[in-house]
Structure 1
Amino acid sequence: MTTTVADRRTLPWWPDLLLLAALAALTVALVQGHLLTLDQRVADWALTHHAPIPYWTARVLNYVGQGGQVLSPIALILSGLLVYRTRSVRAALPFLAAYVITYLTIGPMKIYFDRAAPRFSGPFKVEMFNPVASGDKARSYPSGHVANSLVWFTVFAILAAALLRRTLTRWERFTLGVLPVVIVFCTTVYTGFHWLTDSVAGLLLGVVLARLLIRLPWDRIPLPDLRGWERPAFF
Structure 2
Amino acid sequence: MARIHWQDGRDLLTRAVAPGVVLFAVLAGFGLLITGPLDRLDDAEDKVTDAFNRNRTDFWDPISWVCSRFGNTEVVIGVCLIAVAIIWWRTREWRWAVVPLIAISLQATIFLFLTLLVGRQRPPAIPMDASPPTSSYPSGHTGASTALYFSLLLMAAARIERAWLRRLLMTLCAIVPFLVGIARLYRGAHHISDVVAGMFNGVVCAVLAYQWYRHRARAERPAPSLASAAGQLKRS
- TM (norm. structure 2) is 0.67
Number of the residue aligned with 2:46: 40
Gaps of 5+ in 1: 1-16, 122-134, 224-235
CA distance in 1, matches of 2:34, 2:172: 33
Against the structure 1 CA distance between its residues 213 and 89, is the aligned structure 2 distance closer, same or farther, given a 3 Å change threshold?
closer
Return the offset for 1:22.
Answer: 7.9
Cα deviations by residue, 1:41-68 (Å, 9 ceiling, x for unpaired) = 22223223322221221111112222x2
Where does residue 98 of structure 1 map in the other structure?
A: 103
The structure, 1 or 2, with the larger RCO (C-alpha pairs under 8 Å, 6+ apart) is 1
Residues 171, 89 of structure 1: alpha-carbon distance in 2 compared, 3 angstrom cutoff: closer
In the alignment, the residues of structure 2 paired with residue 158 and residue 172 of structure 1 have an alpha-carbon distance, to the nearest angstrom, of: 10
Q: Provide the alpha-carbon RMSD of the alignment.
A: 3.4
Paired amino acid for 2:92: R
Deviation sequence 1:13-42 (CA, Å, 0-9, x none): xxxx99x86874464133221301012222
Q: Pairwise mapping of residues 1-235 of structure 1 onto structure 2 (< 5 A)?
A: 24-25=29-30, 27-32=32-37, 33-66=39-72, 68-118=73-123, 136-158=132-154, 160=156, 164=160, 169-177=166-174, 179-217=175-213, 220=217
What is the alpha-carbon distance in structure 2 between the residues aligned to residue 200 and residue 97 of structure 1? 21
Provide the TM-score with structure 1 as the length reference.
Answer: 0.67
Identity level (%): 23
When residues 174 and 51 of structure 1 are mapped into structure 2, their CA distance, relative to the original with a 3 A threshold, is same
Unaligned stretches of 5+ residues in structure 2: 1-21, 221-236
Number of positions where the alignment pairs a residue of Structure 1 with one of Structure 2: 192
Larger radius of gyration: 2
Distance 1:171 1:165 in 2: 12
Moved more, 43-52 or 106-115: 43-52
The one-letter code sitting in structure 2 at the alignment partner of 1:64 is F
Residues 176-222 of structure 1: per-residue CA shift (max 9 Å, x gap):
12x11221221111110111111121122222222212322255287
